[in-house]
A and B are shown apart, each in its own frame.
Chain A
C-alpha cells in the first residue's frame, strides 16, 4: 500500500506529459476521380467509338483519371484495374487491362485503358465496368466527395467507372449536354461536324464553353455555305433527311 502511494507520488510528478500523435498506418489506396458535375460516379458513362476517330484505328487508348489516397511515395508503384459486374466486353478481344507503373511522388494520374477495334464492335456496343484491383502497392482508395469551396468544384473519388465502346455511330453519352445547342445526334451530322471543326471529341470537357457556344454558329454558317453550293447534307439513315442545326 505504502509503495503504491510512493508510486502515485512519482506518477503525479510526471502527470502532465504531452501525448504523441498517432498517425494512420495502412495500405495506400487508389480510386477513380471526376468532378461531381460529370456524374461519372453515378449516372454518366464514358463512351468511345472507333467510328468517331479521324483515322481508322485498330487500337486506341482511353485515359482514365485516377487519384491516390494515402502517402506519397518516392518509389514507383503499380496500379491495376479489373472488370466488375455488368461488363459485356471481352478482355483480350475488346480491351486490355495492364498493370501500369506510376512515377514517384504522384497523387493523380491517368490510367491507360487499351481499346481494341474488334469485329463485334461493328454491330455491338460493349460495356466495360472497371474497378481498382488490389496490387502489392494499393488497395481500394477512400471514396467520397471533396468539400465545395468558392473556387474549386466538388470532386468525387469513386469505385466503379462505366465505359461504352463500339465501332458504330451511336449517340455518345456526352450528347445530352450538346442536344440543346447542336440539335439531335445523327451519324451524318457528326461527320459534318468532324469535317467542319476538324475535331472528333465534342464532349464539353474537350470543347469548353467557348466551343459549346461558338461551334453551333460555325456549323450553321458552314452548313448554309455547303447547302448553297451542293444542296443539303444528307443524313445516313433510311430516310436520308438533311441535317440541320437549331
Chain B
C-alpha cells in the first residue's frame, strides 16, 4: 500500500514537473522609468551626386536627458562607416540606392534607437545636355547639367588627360550608362555617370575598314531590344553586342560586306529589325537581331517602295514611339532634283511590320532647300528646321512652314534637338564666329516658342558641333 502511494506521489511529481518544465518567466521585475530616446527626423531620404558630401544631422529626443550619454554608429551593408552623432562623409559610392542604419545606444543602460535612411547616389554628371564644341582648336564635350550647372570639360577633369582631334559627335545610352565620343582621330567610350574613360578605338572599333580620320560624322545607336549596337562610319556599317553595363565593351565587327554607302543614321524599328538607308542605291536596307547580314529591305506598297526610293537622305529624326522603344516612327528629309520631301516609316499594328508612312514634297516652306538642321516632335505632327540664324516651324499636315525665331545677324545655328521625353523643349546650339551659345526654348501649344523668346541661355562654349541629350538611347 505504502508502495503504491509512493508510486502515485512520484507519478504526480513527475507529471507536474513535465507540465511546468518549459514555463514562462514570471514577470515580477519592477519597472523604473528610464531615459527613452527617439530619432525624430522628418527627412530620411537623401539624393546626392557622387563625390559630394553627405551630411545627416539627426534630431534626438530624450525623455530624461540628465546623466545619460550615447554611443553612435552609422552602418551600411553591415559595415560601420561612422561613429559620430552626425554623419559627414564624402560619397565615393557608385550611383545607386543605399540604406544606412543609424543606431544610438545609451551608455547608461544599453537601450538603443534605430533609424534607417535611404541614400540615392546619382552620377556627378547625370542628366542634361552634352555640348560638343571646339575651343582654341581643341575638341571637348561640355555638360549643362539638369540643374543648369555647366561643366566645361569633365572628360579631361575626370581622366586627367587631353583628348586631341576635331570633335565630331557624341551618342549616349542610358542602359549601362555610357556614351561614345567620336573625334576625327579616335572613338572613346565613357561612363556617363563619372565620365571615366572605358575604352577607345582599339577596343571599340578594332576592325575599322579605313584608317582614321573619319571622313564624315559617324553615328551610333542600339537596336530596339538593346542587344545589338550599330555604328555607321564613312558609309560602312559596324555591328556589335551591346553589353549590359558600361564597362562591358564588345568590339564591333568589321565593316559589314556589301555594295552600299549608308546615310549616317540607324533606324531601329521592332525588337528584331533595324533599318538603314543606302544613299548609293537610294533604298532602305535592314538587319535582323544577331544577324550580321545587311540585306535590301523588301519592296513595299503604299506611299513609297522601301526597296526603291530613288531619293537621297539628308536628315532624320524620331516621331512617335511606344513605351518600350519599339515601333518607332522615323522621319526622313529626302532630296531629289525636284526638291525636298518628308518621308517616314511607321509600324503597322495589324501586320506587325514596318510600313511607309508620310511621303510628301515639302512646299510653302521658305528656304527648305538649304535647311541644315531638322527636329521632329514626338507628340504632334510638327517639325523644326533651321537655315542660318532662322528657325522655321513646319506643319506636316498643312504642308507649310513659318518663321518663328531669328537669332541676331552673324549667328549660325549649328544643331537643334527636341527634349525627347516631352517634345516641349527645343535646344539650339548656335555659333557666333568661334563662340558657341546654347538656348533652351519652351514650346507652346501651337508649337511656337513661349513668349517668342528663349527660356534659358548658356554661354562660354567654343564653336559648337552638336547638342545631344544625356538620356536613354531611344
Contacts and interface: CB of A to CB of B under 8 A. Distances in A.
Given A214-B240, A217-B254, A221-B254, A5 B292 contact: no
Q: Do most interface residues of chain A lie in helix, strand or loop, or is the interface mixed?
A: helix
A1 B2 CA distance: 13
A227 to B, nearest CB: 12
A98 interface: no
Contacts of B445: none
Contacts of B240: 210, 213-214
A9 B257 contact: no
B11 A214 contact: no
A213 B14 contact: no
Given A15-B21, A217-B292, A221-B255, A210 B250 contact: yes
Contacts of A224: 257
A236 interface: no
Contact of B253 (A9, A13, A16, A218): A218
Contact of B6 (A2, A217, A218): A2
B290 interface: yes
Contacts of B409: none
Contacts of A213: 239-241, 253, 290, 292
A13 B20 CA distance: 11
Interface in B233-250: 239-241, 250
Nearest to B11: A5
B17 to A, nearest CB: 5
B22 interface: yes
Given A9-B13, A12-B21, A2 B292 contact: no
A2 B254 contact: no
Nearest to B292: A217
B28 interface: no
**Interface footprint category on A:** 20 to 34
Contacts of B293: 246
Contact of B10 (A2, A210, A218): A2
Interface string B244-270: 000000111111110000000000000
B287 to A, nearest CB: 11
A15 B22 CA distance: 10
Interface string B3-31: 10011001101100110011000000000
A229 interface: no
Contact of B292 (A6, A9, A13, A214): A214
B207 interface: yes
Contacts of A9: 10, 13-14, 17
Interface string A202-213: 000000011001
Given A5-B7, A5-B10, A218-B253, A210 B17 contact: no
B10 A217 contact: no
A188 interface: no
Contact of B257 (A1, A5, A210, A221): A221
A176 interface: no
Contacts of A181: 292
A9 B293 CA distance: 86
Nearest to A212: B290
Contacts of B3: 1-2
A8 B14 CA distance: 8
Contacts of B6: 2
A172 interface: no
Give the one of A2, A16, A220 with max B CB within 10 A. A220
A16 B7 CA distance: 24
B256 A217 contact: yes
A168 B445 CA distance: 74
A246 B294 CA distance: 12
Given A5-B7, A15-B21, A221-B257, A210 B14 contact: no
Contact of B7 (A1, A12, A15, A220): A1
Nearest to A6: B10
A112 interface: no
A114 B253 CA distance: 36
Given A9-B17, A246-B293, A214 B251 contact: yes
Contacts of A16: 21-22
A216 interface: yes
Nearest to B256: A217
A97 to B, nearest CB: 39
Interface string A179-219: 00100000000000000000000000000011001101110
A213 B6 CA distance: 90
A5 B292 CA distance: 86
A218 B240 CA distance: 13
Interface in A56-87: none
A5 B14 contact: yes
Contact of A218 (B7, B14, B22, B254): B254
Interface of A: 1-2, 5-6, 8-9, 12-13, 15-16, 181, 209-210, 213-214, 216-218, 220-221, 224, 246
Interface of B: 3, 6-7, 10-11, 13-14, 17-18, 21-22, 207, 239-241, 250-257, 290, 292-293
22 contacts: A1-B7, A2-B10, A6-B10, A9-B10, A9-B13, A9-B17, A12-B17, A12-B18, A15-B18, A16-B22, A209-B241, A210-B241, A210-B250, A210-B251, A213-B253, A213-B292, A214-B252, A216-B292, A217-B254, A218-B253, A220-B257, A246-B293
* CB-based closest 3 A-B pairs: A217-B253, A214-B253, A5-B10
Given A16-B22, A214-B254, A220-B257, 10 more contacts: A5-B11, A8-B14, A9-B14, A209-B241, A210-B240, A210-B250, A213-B241, A214-B292, A217-B239, A218-B253
